Amino acid sequence: MNINEFLERGEDYYLPNLSIDLVIIGLHDEKLKCLLLQLGDKWLLPGGYIGQDESVENAVQRALVERTGLETPHMKFLAVFGDKDRQFGDELKNLSTKFGPSWRDGYWLNNRFVSLTYYSLVNFENSHPVARGFDAYAWFCFDELPEMWMDLKSIALKARNRLREDIKYEHVAFKLLPDQFTMPELHHLHEVILEEKLDRSRFQKKMLSAGIFERLPKRLKESPGRNPYQYSIKTHLF
């Protein structure tokens, strides 16, 4: 569906009052960052709507591809955001030049939306998002999020907090790293996510005892010094 058809006739295609918002998390410059799209002066999470003849699961994958060009394997459910006043409101109206002739009373994009939110961890270097139909995309540090529409900032922050909880119980953080990584890299990543120091040798022992990482040959190096083993996740996990 092109952008004009979406703006003009979206209500014929999508379930009303129900939206999807996606928090895409990457690691860049030793910081956790979140992928946002610009709409007017403010920013949005990538997201979309659910086709009347489409499963929610399918809509999530489609929205991800349509809005970002990414094809992350797995979006994880985050939460339902269901406040009664979740709508763009007058500020969207002020963007009506952008929406061209679409804006009108009861315009479908200005309805109340209950949002189903999901999040995903991606490898920043392998992710090449595009800003389809939007002014721009950018990655923002969670501590320096720009002004965002509606309650989207709290959705983004909830995902960051969920990630902090998840890594206590699940091995997921490695998804933020390249396919091959060292234990010092994994250790540092956990410190970044948790925002606290972790004892390096205890961390490494715990990770290796899980039996899910496969040791690979050391990286070829030209300079002297420490040269830790590379690891990858064992494929049978997937």
Interface ranges with a second copy (CB under 8 A): 15-18, 50-59, 77, 79-80, 82-84, 112, 114, 116, 169
Query: In whole angstroms, how close is the CB of 3 to a second copy at the nearest point?
Result: 24
Nearer to a second copy, 4 or 58 (CB): 58
Give strand pairing partners of 27.
Answer: 32
Query: In whole angstroms, how close is the CB of 229 to a second copy at the nearest point?
Result: 31
d(CA 70, CA 130): 8
Nearer to a second copy, 81 or 213 (CB): 81
Q: How far is CA 53 from the centre of its chain?
A: 25
d(CA 23, CA 156): 6
Query: In whole angstroms, how close is the CB of 182 to a second copy at the nearest point?
Result: 29
Nearer to a second copy, 94 or 161 (CB): 161
CA angle at 232 for the pair 211 and 235, rounded to the nearest 5°: 70
Burial code (b: 16+ CB inside 10 Å, e: under 16) for 165-197 equals ebbeeeeebbbbbeeebbbebbbbbbeebeeee
Query: In whole angstroms, how close is the CB of 62 to a second copy at the nearest point?
Result: 13
Nearer to a second copy, 83 or 125 (CB): 83
Nearer to a second copy, 29 or 53 (CB): 53
Query: In whole angstroms, how close is the CB of 78 to a second copy at the nearest point?
Result: 10
